[in-house]
């Protein structure tokens, strides 16, 4: 029984990868259950469990007599029942604006701190979030070097950032977030136009299926303007 649970999760992951890379396009059906049974050489029950998991995560919608349709090809759908932070901000009555400050290529050997995480050139993206035209989040993203970045089309939400990675051949398999209180440097304080000395630091690391780091994002929040919130549905 334990093996069967692991097996359907593995199959769901394989189907999800095909959704993310476009093999199973958005709005179209994935192969039927009998076809998936033959493709993976497993039982009908295992396939049904895998499809049910994908449906629970928000990737597919199974309808009787119409097959199973791909309804999302975004990397993250239902990580949890938490509202997105952007949604919480908007519901709190703030207007949100984003600005790209710089996009450049960095060599890790020229930046000792960066060399701790990467051993190949990285694309460095700086941006600012504004709440009602006041600087709120100062973000620095370091990702495996990518090409063809079109600033007007890159709103730099994490989903868009991961979509950019995917388009350049990098697929995120896992990530982790850490939060800590920090003292702003002079430059950080200037970027955020902060009066106070301290704020919140968020660090996100994303890895591919081999465990290699492909993204490091560091965000500094001016929590005097708005606190970081997490809201869960029950």
Domains of the chain by start residue, with CATH: 2-70 (1.10.10.10), 82-232 (3.40.1410.10)
pLDDT in tens, the chain (234 residues): 333 447 888 899 899 989 988 899 988 999 999 999 999 999 999 999 899 888 887 888 888 888 999 988 876 665 445 566 777 888 888 888 888 898 899 998 988 889 999 989 999 999 999 999 999 999 999 998 877 665 554 555 555 777 777 777 787 778 889 999 999 999 999 999 999 999 999 999 998 878 889 999 999 999 999 998 876 654
Burial class (CB in 10 A: 0-12, 13-18, 19+), 227: exposed
Helices (H), the chain: 2-20, 33-40, 44-56, 85-91, 112-115, 158-167, 186-192
Tokens of 159: 């989903």
Q: Indicate whether this model's pTM tops 0.85.
A: no
Neighbouring-strand partners of residue 124:
104, 142
Element (H, E) at 99: strand 96-106
Alpha carbon distance 102, 167 (integer Å)? 21
């Amino acid at each position: 029984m334990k093996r069967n649970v692991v097996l359907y999760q593995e199959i769901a992951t394989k189907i999800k990868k095909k959704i993310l890379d476009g093999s199973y396009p958005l709005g179209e059906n994935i192969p039927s259950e009998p076809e998936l049974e033959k493709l993976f050489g497993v039982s009908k029950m295992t396939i049904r469990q895998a499809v049910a998991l994908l449906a629970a995560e928000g990737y597919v919608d199974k309808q009787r007599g119409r097959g199973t349709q791909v309804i999302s090809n975004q990397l993250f759908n239902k990580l949890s029942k938490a509202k997105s932070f952007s949604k919480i901000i908007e519901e709190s009555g703030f207007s949100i604006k984003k600005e790209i400050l710089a996009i450049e290529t960095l060599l890790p050997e020229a930046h000792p701190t960066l060399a701790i995480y990467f051993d190949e050139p990285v694309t460095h993206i700086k941006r600012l979030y504004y709440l009602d035209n006041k600087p709120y989040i100062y973000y620095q993203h370091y990702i495996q070097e990518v090409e063809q970045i079109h600033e007007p089309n890159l709103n730099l939400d994490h989903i868009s950032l991961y979509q950019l990675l995917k388009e350049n051949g990098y697929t995120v398999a896992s990530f982790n977030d850490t939060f800590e209180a920090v003292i702003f440097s002079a430059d950080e304080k200037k970027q955020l136009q902060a009066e106070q000395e301290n704020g919140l630091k968020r660090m996100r690391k994303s890895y591919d299926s081999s465990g290699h780091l492909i993204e490091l994002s560091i965000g500094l929040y001016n929590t005097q303007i708005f606190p970081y919130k997490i809201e869960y549905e029950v």
